[in-house]
Chain A
Amino acid sequence: MSFIATPQTMHFTEALPLQSGASIRDYHLAYETYGTLNADRSNAVLVCHALNASHHVAGVYEGQDKSEGWWDNMIGPGKSVDTDRFFVIGVNNLGSCFGSTGPMHVHPDTGEVYGADFPVVTVEDWVNAQARLLDRLGIPQLAAVLGGSLGGMQALSWTLQYPERMRYAVVVASAPNLTAENIAFNEVARRAIVTDPDFHGGHFYRHGVVPKRGLRIARMIGHITYLSDDVMNEKFGRSLRAPTLPASRGSLPPEGADPARGGPAPDLRDYLYSTQDIEFQIESYLRYQGDKFSDYFDANTYLLITRALDYFDPARAHGGNLTRALASARAKFLLVSFTTDWRFSPARSREIVKALLDNRRGVSYAEIDAPHGHDAFLLDDARYMGVMRSYFDSIHEELQP
């Protein structure tokens, strides 16, 4: 049982200029904080979230079962990022669907729900919005900015946009930009949503519908890319869905199943010889994940966030030269990657390491041999957690007078 977290909201009236040239005003940011800000305001750690996460990073909500924050395994009292030492801030990004101003909120100029008219936001825009939140919280400099995946891109961007505002940057399972293949996956997901007849050009709210079919498929393809081939084979293999099991149980193969042989229960049955029924466990699992996701995630948010991923490329303004792009960074870095992560592969993290070395910046790099693919950054692994804990221990030591 973790500690109780309480979400808060900060309202901002002043317009935030966006990279696109547009701006957004009268917006609010949902955030949570854990631990206590020390007297000299030096122990704050900002946690940036990835695609489908939020400001609810750690702890649980009062009276809500299974409401642990998405990085609750790493952040909390006595954990790797120890909230007895650090003042940890989680903030929901603009355009998200978990509390901060997003496409389902009302546009102050028109009085209508934003929908597809929500301005395109970038990683840089998010960082600017987060910086304003820190201003309001009275935090001049972070002890560290921390993020995984898209959150790692924000952490990296922080060191370039506000080089003096953090001592350390911890960038996990991230990349200096997306590869063509990565953009391609995002585009398939977007097309699934946009071509859903219930999407209505992004204004589905006024029609009282949700493009769930598109969202489901977007999530299914996303989910495939977050896992590794090995872990999928280990979890599901060629197991057939046991017909006796209810659909909601379909997320895992039966106890004691031998994935290579299809598992004991499905062994008892023949193929269904159907093209549309769920035959294999992996299908059942993906459909379950898709259904769950389409119940809570906003379609416009999915488009916005995947676009922010696509656009992020700090080297672009420097002729593609990442070394020159990172020349302005002053923070000391820890980079972590996972060997089986093919969506944000170790090679991409090493590019960042190299650019930092070229600039003679402080950097450590851990390449964790974990089987879980991109998802590994959210999971418990003794080596991963050990490195994170030790690194934050040394940050804490440096903060001592």
Chain B
Amino acid sequence: MTETVAMQALARLVPPGSRVLDLGCGDGAMLDYLQRERGCTGYGVEIADANVLACVQRGVQVLQLNLEEGLAMFGDNSFDVVLQIDTLQHLHNAETMLRETARVGRTGVVAFPNFAHWPNRLSILRGRMPVTRRLPYQWYDTPNIRVGTYKDFEVLATKNSLRILESFGLEGGEEVRWLPNARAGTAVFHFERA
């Protein structure tokens, strides 16, 4: 989900000049964009060697760490915004990491594939797990070990005392505000600790 439009929609949630921590920052494109277009500073966290190299190449500060080991390295409220873009669904300790995101950042932004998007529902109705552009993996060989829906996240946020500041769906780079749980392939939540 590195399409420029989607990136811009998410970047809108990051105030200019913010200190940003991007968990699972990939090749650093988002941080690079935030640094250039919105005057932000910050660090990316990545585990994959190729992504770490890509970040260094584009001048994005990157820390090669395993998110499954937690965020003990980062102090409370030490960032204005903590991003988890297409990261949550890969984590065993997804709930802990959500709490950690809220601890380390004044606000958090989480984006993940919405399993309740209608093509996915249709696929399930037909009796098969969905294989789509957004969820391109076979069920037996997917890095997406946490499959949840837009609505599921609302429940999880409440359980963890998170106040949702804004939420919407993303589909084809466009924001989806009406029935996002059915109409959007990606769920986006901007939250803070309640």
A residues contacting B by CB (< 8 A) are 334, 350, 353-354, 357-358, 360, 362-369, 383, 386-387, 390-391, 393-394, 397
Does B122 have its Cβ within 8 Å of any Cβ on chain A?
Answer: no
Q: How many residues of B contact A (CB 8 A)?
A: 18
Decide: A369 near B53, CB < 8 A? Known: A353-B63, A357-B74, A363-B61.
no
Measured in the bound complex, the distance between the Cα atoms of B53 and A15 in whole Å is 45
A394 touching B56 by the CB < 8 A rule? Answer: yes
Q: Which residue of A lies closest to B21 (CB)?
A: A357
The answer to whether B52 touches A357 (Cβ under 8 A) is no
Determine the residue in chain A with the shortest Cβ distance to B73. Answer: A354
Name the B residues within 8 Å of A360 (CB-CB). 19
Residue pair A387, B63 in contact (C-beta under 8 Å): no
Give the complex CA separation of A368 and B50 in angstroms: 11
For B74, the chain A residues whose CB sits under 8 A away are: 357
Whether A383 and B53, one on each chain, are in contact in the complex, defined by CB atoms closer than 8 angstroms, is yes
Min Cβ gap B99→A in Å is 19
Interface readout for B38-71 with A: 1 if CB under 8 Å, 0 if not?
Answer: 0000010000010011011101011111000000
Which residues of chain B come closer than 8 Å to A394, judged between CB atoms? 56-57, 59
**A244 CA / B147 CA spacing, docked (Å):** 63
| Chain B minimum-CB-distance residue to A394 | B59
Q: Tell yes or no: B78 within 8 A of A by CB.
A: yes
**A393 CB to nearest chain B CB (Å):** 8
* Contacting pair A365 B65 (CB below 8 A): yes
Of the candidates A334, A354, A390, the one whose C-beta lies within 8 Å of that of B57 is A390
A363 to B75, CA, bound (A): 16
17 A-B pairs within 8 Å (CB atoms) are namely: A334-B56, A350-B73, A362-B61, A363-B63, A364-B43, A364-B55, A364-B61, A365-B65, A367-B64, A367-B65, A368-B49, A369-B49, A386-B53, A387-B53, A390-B56, A394-B57, A394-B59
Taken together as a complex, chains A and B put the C-alpha atoms of A391 and B56 apart, in Å, by 6
> What 8 A-B pairs are tightest by C-beta distance, nearest first?
A390-B56, A367-B64, A365-B63, A390-B57, A354-B73, A383-B49, A364-B61, A394-B59
Using Cβ atoms and an 8 Å threshold, which residues of chain A touch B52? 366, 383, 387
Given the complex of chains A and B, what is the CA–CA distance between A390 and B75 in angstroms? 29
> For residue B75, which residues in chain A have a CB less than 8 angstroms away from its CB?
357-358
